[in-house]
Amino acid sequence: MLSKKQAKLFFLGGTAIFFLIFVGMTVDTLVNHVPRQTHAENITQQVRMGRHLWDANNCMGCHTIMGEGAYYAPELTKVYERRGADYIKAVFNFPGGWRPHGRHMVEYNFTEEEKDALVAFFKWVDEADLNGFPPKPSLSLDR
């Protein structure tokens, strides 16, 4: 049986050891894994502009990207892979707004430069290694 002093030292020692392990794993993730998985070297000024447009227009208020956001509208993490640049550009300036499946997305009237920036942002997101997220749907009819 441990004395009160020994129990206190055991607790503090264990806490310190696991805190150091946690800090080490965090540094390893930020230094070694995040840049490699996100392809940070591919973040151009156009990608930054697309991200700015995403934030400024509160796209996350309806859409989800990389698992973050609302669930009213489609998940857009792999939209570039699924739909392509031309489809994405068409949706932004669709006359009267885009209305798939009863949902309504307003007509934004983005310029060509802004649409290209948003496509570049979606392409960059699409190329990030998210460890298999979102999972690809099974297209097999055999379940």
The pLDDT of residue 22: 97
Q: For residue 29, is it within any domain? A: yes
Give the number of domains in the chain.
Answer: 2
pLDDT band at 117 (very low <50, low <70, confident <90, very high): very high
Strand-pair partners of 72: none
Residues 38-67: tens digit of each pLDDT: 787 888 999 999 999 999 999 999 899 988
Element at 2 (helix H, strand E):
none
Look up residue 71 and give its two tokens.
């669930």
pLDDT band at 142 (very low <50, low <70, confident <90, very high): low
Q: Are residues 65 and 121 in the same domain?
A: yes
Q: Are 105 and 62 in contact (CB under 8 A)?
A: yes
Report the candidate in 32, 137, 41, 31 with the shortest Cα–Cα distance to residue 81. 137
- Measured distance CA(128)–CA(38) in Å, rounded: 4
Q: Are residues 58 and 14 in the same domain?
A: no
Q: Are residues 30 and 53 in the same domain?
A: no
Domain that holds residue 4: 1-38
The pLDDT of residue 99: 78
Q: Are residues 24 and 87 in the same domain?
A: no
Q: Are residues 34 and 3 in the same domain?
A: yes
Q: Are residues 89 and 71 in the same domain?
A: yes
Report the candidate in 95, 98, 106 with the shortest Cα–Cα distance to residue 61. 106
Q: Are residues 100 and 54 in the same domain?
A: yes
